């Protein structure tokens, strides 16, 4: 497999210190842009209501990575599925992605809601959410995923 190198462009600051699977809906986060980046890279970002945040699950130990099918959240009531058929944090490249609501920009900081990343999480990229990149048509997903996510955003 090919390998690539990436660097964090910033970090998440919030009250969540440990990765818990549920109750992310009321978490407010500040994304602090790295001092080495020119602040103008954020120009115009506040004209968007939502952003996609690409981040690194930096606390996942290599021996916890999932390469084979498993029950999501180790719940035997859910079917065994591969890591790419779920959004678990124990992914081979440890990359997470979440669409968040942009509350405001203040200098080098973005204040967002709905980011399911803990304090200190390295941010790899920020993209504005545009209607043209959202799915067209009906979104299909299995019932177990709806059950799994029942309390995620509360």
Cα separation, 52 vs 126, whole angstroms: 6
pLDDT at 125: 98
- Name which CATH class applies to 10-59+93-132: mainly beta
Whether 1 shows a pLDDT value over 90: the answer reads no
Beta bridge partners of 122: 11
Least confident of 21-30, 92-101, 107-116, 125-134: 21-30
Cα dihedral 140, 150, 113, 116 sign: negative
23 confidence band (pLDDT: 50, 70, 90): confident
What are the boundaries of each domain within the chain?
10-59+93-132
- Between CA 99 and CA 113 the distance in angstroms is 9
Residues 126-144 have a mean pLDDT of 96
Which contiguous run of DSSP H or E holds residue 123? strand 122-128
pLDDT tens-digit readout, 33-88: 999 999 999 999 999 999 999 999 999 999 999 999 999 999 999 999 999 999 99
The model's confidence at residue 133, banded by pLDDT at 50, 70 and 90, is very high
pLDDT of res. 92: 96
88-115 per-position pLDDT tens digit: 999 999 999 999 999 999 999 999 999 9
pLDDT of residue 46: 97
């Amino acid at each position: 497999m090919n390998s690539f190198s990436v660097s964090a462009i910033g970090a998440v600051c919030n009250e969540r210190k440990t990765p818990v699977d549920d109750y992310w809906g009321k978490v407010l986060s500040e994304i602090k842009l790295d001092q080495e980046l020119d602040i103008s890279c954020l120009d115009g970002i506040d004209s968007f209501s939502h952003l996609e945040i690409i981040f690194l699950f930096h606390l996942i130990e290599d021996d916890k990575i999932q390469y084979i099918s498993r029950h999501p959240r180790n719940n035997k009531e859910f079917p065994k599925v591969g890591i790419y058929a779920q959004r678990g944090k124990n992914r081979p490249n440890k990359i997470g992605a979440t669409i968040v609501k942009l509350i405001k920009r203040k200098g080098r900081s973005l204040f967002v809601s709905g980011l399911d990343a803990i304090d200190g999480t390295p941010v790899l990229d920020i993209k504005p959410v545009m209607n043209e990149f959202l799915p067209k048509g009906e979104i299909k997903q299995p019932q177990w995923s709806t059950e799994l996510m029942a309390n995620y955003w509360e």
